[in-house]
Amino acid sequence: MSFGQGGPFDGPGGSSSTPDWDALADESETRARRKRWLWIGGGALAALAVAGIVTAAVISGGGSPGGGPTATATASEQAAQPDDKPSFPDVSVPPPPNPADYISDPKKDTAALTPATLFPQKTMVVGEHSYPRTKSDSTKDCTAGAQGALVSSLSHNGCKQLLRVTYAKGGVAVTIGVAVFPSPAQATKVMNEARTNLKPLPGGGVPSDFCQGHKCRMATNATGRYAYFTIAGYLNGKDVVASETKAQQIARDGGSFAFSQITQRGKDQAAKAAERQLKEAQKKAGQAS
């Protein structure tokens, strides 16, 4: 039997053919290039991912990948920072004025002193009690508004001015007197010497014989360079006795009101002095800055 010229590379029909070696080489080269590009592309993506992780670490940590958590400031950032802390002028402010000084020292107690400035209210209000004002008066001759031993006491201790004001309500009235002296010592001396009291101030519904010829309640006290007095009683001439309450109540209210008005005078003057001190301190601070 004879065989044809076929061989191991015969076609499906059994016919023989010669392989295309050039085509096979091109196909092999194409597959090799595809693999190289896949490796290159994968490496690039991996590099980008690593770079992103490093960048995120730098941003969140505030530093370089190999450094500490805080980045070093640039020259421009360093220039933006102030070299020194802000400084303020050394201006000392004196302590707040003491209101007591302004009713004790005549050099400080310089505000106008009249019944209108010391007793500006038309009604005396003490707690739940209120009494309308009926009359007011002021004199440089302190003895003109006094009676009994108080006359000589005011004179001997250098009384400069005597103010009186009367309040009345419900059939009772009180006259308040405030005497001004050069010093607290003189005011205290008058408080201790006085045995009789102020001369009542009638008017505005208070009869001229108020507390004249019948018993009334009298009291004396002092604060700062001021001595203050009260005389209280019934408008109808009834005597004030220990068991009654209305005249004694208005007498106590009159004393409390006098004290509060005098101390308020000290507070008002001290407040104005504090305002002046503040303005002076602010002015000095502005000049020093």
Q: Is the dihedral of CA 152, 162, 213, 257 positive or negative?
A: negative
Strands 161-169 and 172-180: antiparallel
pLDDT the model gives residue 60? 44
What angle is formed at CA 137 by the lines to CA 132 and CA 138, rounded to 5 degrees? Answer: 140
Sheet containing strand 226-234, edge to edge, reads 123-126, 129-139, 161-169, 172-180, 226-234, 217-223
In angstroms, the CA 191 to CA 128 distance is 28
Give pLDDT, residue 156: 95
Give the count of beta carbons closer than 10 Å to the beta carbon of residue 162.
Answer: 24
- For 113, 145, 165, 246, the CA distances from 127, given in Å and listed in that order, are 25, 28, 19, 15
Does pLDDT of 106 surpass 80? yes
Q: How confident is the model at residue 206 (pLDDT cuts 50, 70, 90)?
A: very high
Beta strands 161-169 and 123-126: pairing type? unpaired
Q: What is the pLDDT of residues 157-195, one digit of tens each?
A: 999 999 999 999 999 999 999 999 999 999 999 999 877
Listed range (25-39, 104-118, 148-162) with the worst mean pLDDT: 25-39
SS3 218: strand
Query: What is the rounded CA–CA span in Å between residue 123 and residue 118?
Result: 13
Question: pLDDT tens digits, residue range 19-51?
Answer: 554 555 555 555 655 545 444 444 444 444 434
Distance in angstroms (rounded) separating the CA atoms of residues 145 and 166: 13
| 72 pLDDT above the threshold of 80 | no
Pairwise CA distance, residues 286 & 259, whole Å: 41
Among 101, 97, 103, 98, smallest CA distance to 261 is for 103
Q: pLDDT band at residue 89, thresholds of 50, 70 and 90?
A: low
Q: Containing H/E element for 40?
A: helix 21-61
**pLDDT-derived band of residue 13, with 50, 70 and 90 as boundaries?**
very low
Predicted pLDDT at 86: 57
Give percent of the chain with pLDDT exceeding 90: 58
Yes or no: say if 278 and 134 are a contact pair by the CB < 8 Å rule: no
What is the three-class DSSP state of 105? coil
pLDDT computed for residue 4 by the predictor: 40
3-class secondary-structure state, position 221: strand
For residues 123-144, give the mean pLDDT.
97
pLDDT grade, residue 276 (50/70/90)?
confident
- Work out the average pLDDT over 1-11: 39
Instruction: Kindly tell me the burial class for residue 250, based on how many C-beta atoms sit within 10 Å of its own C-beta (0-12, 13-18, 19 or more).
Output: buried
Choose among 184, 254, 261: nearest CA to 226.
Answer: 184
